[in-house]
Structure 1
């Protein structure tokens, strides 16, 4: 590592070592290479361009849309003796002129600019007078129409870079998928860039999804998740109305884009200074807000993409301490995001509109997935080498049943139902017909009761039927359309499977009752006792509005069933039963064990 860079890091910024991924970016910038760095919120990307700016001298021009953050960054740099300034709409015109004059005179090491400045008459010509040593583009995904936050002003960057004499360029972003990275590199005309993707695996963040049926269930979960008013928390919602209603429900501060700028500034300052602990906000809150000790981020409604979700969730735990990121999920939340897409002005069938719906589908897949959430996020953003199982998401922490093959007749029934209604109804109505359930739609279509597959899966739970249909989509046998009201249809592979009468083998999580009997037969675990404990756990979890594993993990229930403790002291000796759970559940567990 460059000795001067380490000296600056230590002496100017008081840090002992670079974080993972930072040193490589700094080395590439000091070597004069173009750089594209993709690292999540809170990973310390500012250090990656502050240090080179001080090591090799000259002026580093930083283009950023984060007006709120500019002053904070400049203040922090000035406190450390670094000559830095910013120019944006918050600065009076005469002061802007003076700061630009001083930058041209070589008085600054870092000049922060808002992108809209580039479009002002005559400004581009003044850039040619600057002796710019390096251009840094913050929030670089804003230049891509494929990104989740495209800003037209960013399209002026290529001309601005050329006006500066085409110095080395470094783009930084927290939310660029591989296709967006390619678009950024192309739009900025990066020459053989050094590309760094790191930091998306943040094991100090516990990721979880709580499935909720309706608003009432979500409000109950909010009250359960926010019992400690002393802990700082952010609750993200999708609309201004939701922000106001949820804030009133919680007695919390409300923040959204329709508020007066002074009100938003006061709320942000109060939250930063710790005068308020909970803010309910739309996506307008957070860009450029540097608060290290947010302990919980809750998404009350489904975001429109994984990029948006992880950028907001990543604001938790920036101090490196454990934090919780929870999504309150209802499939009906899709309707809100579909409404936003339909109101965006994009033409039906356009690549950008289809891409928006594809990102929404990926967000829903994340909410409904059964695998490691950290691994999924790392895969989405293209980070390699992340373990397939963690100890910091609900799926990995829960003792998830192993997968078992689905009976062929069930797969055939699912395919037949999708084929019969192809392109006319959504998954929910197909599931209702397979389960033999009466809905408003089926009541208006009495002929569906005569279909050969009607009620074929009536012994299955609604959730399991839905899982089967989702598996058909995941296996490429069926697909959902885009649009505000998606319908389901067979793919060519699905039609071929129906024609041949040989559906592929599908897997679903094992049925709990079957799993309990199999586990007992294999291991000698008393299956009936384990079943009783699981039923008790499920009832207890539902009453408390928490996932079952929060009460006891499956491994703990199994150990209890094997040990059959007859006293509280004996129960305490079972692995996984601590003092807190003993006080809360001990007597109930013993009663379950005593009941034949």
Structure 2
């Protein structure tokens, strides 16, 4: 445990921010939130990943008397969270199932003795009477409920134990509570407030925009090779996360990357606990490692230098997608959110919804989530504007840092193409009493005399060959977009295509609207140059600072290995970049760098100055 004199009684929040965390000023709504909670008010905070949510409860915990109790589902990360706080001089501990009896007793003793500033608990521990009695006997400054969206029953990360957290309101009515999440629509926000009994809490909704992230969605065409090209051309040797839907695809993708020279590891619930913990630890502690994972991985990952997040399968909802992409670029430096998306993704997700647990209302909710995700994928407008609008935030100007801004797709009147495709579905069903998937329908449209076409005598249909003006890929794009617009649906285990209520109006020309379809933009050399310019960091170092930055990174990595810590716990890249640019020669000069608080200055200050003074290697 570190010395408590880092924070004095009646300290001002901004003083704690500077002395402990090394920052001169709060960002966005942080100060307003902190002051509200310090004053004893309840709060519901929506702030994007990397927006600085943790400071909103850490500083009140340090300013108010007692220990802040943080309820978090992230058992596997609690040790790292505590390590990071202790680096800052904050007295922190945790109670969870990974500890032995002696460790739990020691942590409980420290809490009761007033020797902790922050105590992390898994939500299931608050169902134990012994835990509640422990809190009764100690002094709690604030309750922080992290990842609060886990209380939403039909949300993307529902945890049943979160439903029991209303006990905090009933048992400790005078202790302020702050619930925090990175992603929640207005409806989810209302559900969080209701289930946690935060009826009188003040709501703080931060700017959801992460301007340093470049959003791109590409048509799927051999996605593993597409991913490899992205890593080799844009992110060589950089850390990132690749999301796959199934465990088998996680394994295959990790093996593929490893066989092509990329340092990649798999992570999914089918691996034993020890392997998962080892892979997660390596990802946090090593630089340049790629984690290929199901969505079981990532919540609470505080690694700031994740330079890309890639999805090779369609996410189930925008909430899930936005939270996962937000794990890139937490340090504010340019990062990529890239996804490969195709027709089979739509078919697969529709099938999962049809076979999902829950009642019809639940399936409708899942369907709406998917429809919103498809609309994002198929938009010809700025993707960032679409994302922000989903969370109720206006973005009047195109962002200039997403694929639809950098390589604008054109839209065309696809009404006739839609009618041809829908007519083919109708002819097959009415004249032959048959239903087929996309492949056979495209073969009929394009007039291909395949064995299957010959077998079913589809060349005799009046629609045979009426779509020869479009390629296979173009027709797949038409089908995908009609599915997204609700003019076509997927049915059964084999992904057969059927009409919807709306498709009849288009077929009969009763719908006055045009069916607007988008072309797939080509990433020309000019578009690639624009994308590279958009990803350049506004805070890029001068060229002559680069060798100093690399020298500091080498020192940090060596120190991290010696201390058994993740490198970013010592200093973030953004801090090292500033040090490399300023080149401080005294401790006072080093103390002026953002991210260098008193705890880190005392622990690493002399070593940093020595690293800066060391001669350059030849």
> Normalised by the size of structure 1, how large is the TM-score?
0.75
* Residue 223 of structure 2: aligned partner: 218
Return 171-180 or 424-433, whichever deviates more: 424-433
Hey, what does 1:290 align to over in structure 2? Answer: 302
Q: Does 1:63 align with 2:63?
A: no
Partner of 1:21: 29
Q: Would you say the 8 A contact 1:200–1:378 is kept in 2?
A: yes
C-alpha contact 1:36 1:172 (8 A) present in aligned 2 = yes
1:237 corresponding residue in structure 2: 244
Cα gap change, 1:237/1:22 in structure 2, threshold over 3 Å: closer, same or farther? same
2:112 and 2:500 mapped to 1: Cα distance? 61
- Structure 2 residue 380 is matched with structure 1 residue 370: yes
> 1:84 is matched with which residue?
92
Q: 2:282 aligns with which of 238, 258, 270?
A: 270
Name the structure 2 match of 1:196. Answer: 204
1:134 aligned counterpart, secondary structure: strand
Structure-1 residue corresponding to 2:118:
110
Q: CA RMSD in A?
A: 3.5
The offset of 1:219, in angstroms, is 2.7
Are 1:308 and 2:313 matched, yes or no?
Answer: no
1:139 to 128, 147, 151: 147
> How do 1:249-268 residues align onto structure 2 when only pairs under 5 Å count?
249-251=256-258, 252-256=263-267, 257-268=269-280
State whether residues 223 and 312 of structure 2, in contact with CA within 8 Å, keep that contact through their aligned partners in structure 1.
Answer: yes
- Counterpart of 2:337 in 1: which secondary structure? strand
User: Separation in 1 of the partners of 2:417 and 2:272?
Assistant: 57
Following the alignment from structure 2 to structure 1, what is the Cα–Cα distance between the partners of residues 484 and 252? 36
Preserved CA contact (<8 Å) 2:313 2:345: yes
What is the DSSP-based 3-state SS (H/G/I as helix, E as strand, rest coil) of the residue aligned with 1:263? helix
Query: Deviations 1:211-246 (Å, cap 9, x if unpaired)?
Result: 223xxx223223212226432232222233222222
Q: Residues 465-508 of structure 1: CA distance to partner in whole angstroms, max 9, x if unpaired?
A: 455555655666x3536875566555555545666x43322153
SS at match of 2:523: helix
Structure 1 position 332 matched with structure 2 position 332: no
Could you say which residue in structure 1 is the equivalent of 2:330? 318
Q: Is the 8 A contact 1:229 1:277 kept in 2?
A: no
CA shift, 1:139, in A, is 0.6
Q: 1:178 aligns with which of 186, 199, 220?
A: 186
Give the unaligned 5+ runs of structure 2. Answer: 1-9, 531-618
Partner in structure 1 of residue 395 of structure 2: 386
| Deviation per residue, 1:497-521 (Å, 9 max, x gap) | 666x433221535889xxxxxxxxx
Where does 1:147-546 land on structure 2 (aligned, <5 Å)? Answer: 147-165=155-173, 167-213=175-221, 217-227=222-232, 229-251=236-258, 252-256=263-267, 257-274=269-286, 277-334=289-346, 337=349, 346-347=357-358, 349-382=359-392, 384-401=393-410, 403-406=411-414, 410=417, 412-413=419-420, 416-417=423-424, 421=429, 433-437=444-448, 445-446=456-457, 449-451=460-462, 453-468=463-478, 478=487, 480=489, 492-495=501-504, 501-508=509-516
Change (3 A) 1:416 1:246: closer
Where 1:210 maps in the other structure, the secondary structure is strand
Query: What is the number of equivalent residue pairs in this alignment?
Result: 510
Higher relative contact order (CA 8 A, sep 6+): 2
Shift of 1:184: 0.9
Do the aligned residues in 1 keep the contact of 2:239 with 2:287 (CA within 8 Å)?
no
Q: How many Å separate the matches in 2 of 1:172 and 1:364? A: 27
C-alpha change, 1:60 and 1:369, in structure 2 (3 Å) is: same
The CA deviation at 1:4 is: 1.9
**Is the alpha carbon distance of 1:343 and 1:461 closer, same or farther for their aligned partners in structure 2, counting shifts above 3 Å?**
closer
Give the drift of 1:62: 1.0
Q: 1:76: Cα distance to partner?
A: 2.7
Q: 1:334 to 1:397 in 2, by over 3 A?
A: same
Q: Which moved more, 1:265-274 or 1:313-322?
A: 265-274
Mapped partners of 2:257, 2:349: distance in 1 = 24
**CA gap 1:315/1:459 in 2 versus in 1, 3 angstroms:** same
State whether residues 143 and 154 of structure 1, in contact with CA within 8 Å, keep that contact through their aligned partners in structure 2.
yes
* Structure 1 residues 482 and 290: CA distance shift in structure 2, 3 A: farther
- The 10-residue stretch of structure 1 (359-368 or 140-149) with the greater mean CA deviation from structure 2: 359-368
Deviation per CA, 1:387-446, whole angstroms, max 9, x where unpaired? 451221111100433x34456x55554555566659955666655555545677755543
Which deviations, in whole Å up to 9, do the C-alpha atoms of 1:133-163 show, x marking residues without a partner? Answer: 4221101111111210111111111124422
Which secondary structure does the structure 2 equivalent of 1:12 belong to?
helix
Cα 1:484–1:367 change in 2 (3 A) is: farther
Aligned partner of 1:551 among 519, 525, 533: 525
Partner secondary structure for residue 41 of structure 2: coil
Flag the 1:339–1:127 CA change in 2: closer, same or farther, 3 A: farther
* SS of the residue 1:271 aligns to: helix
- CA spacing shift, 1:298–1:474, aligned 2, 3 Å: closer
Q: In structure 2, what is the Cα distance between the partners aligned to 1:240 and 1:468?
A: 30
**Stretch deviating more after TM superposition (409-418 or 122-131):** 409-418
> Matched residues in 2 for 1:362 and 1:270: separation?
35
Taking the aligned partners of 2:501 and 2:189, their CA distance within structure 1 comes to 32
Question: How far apart are the structure 1 equivalents of 2:505 and 2:313?
Answer: 38
The alignment partner of 1:549 has SS state of coil
Contact between 2:48 and 2:209, CA under 8 Å: does it hold in 1? no
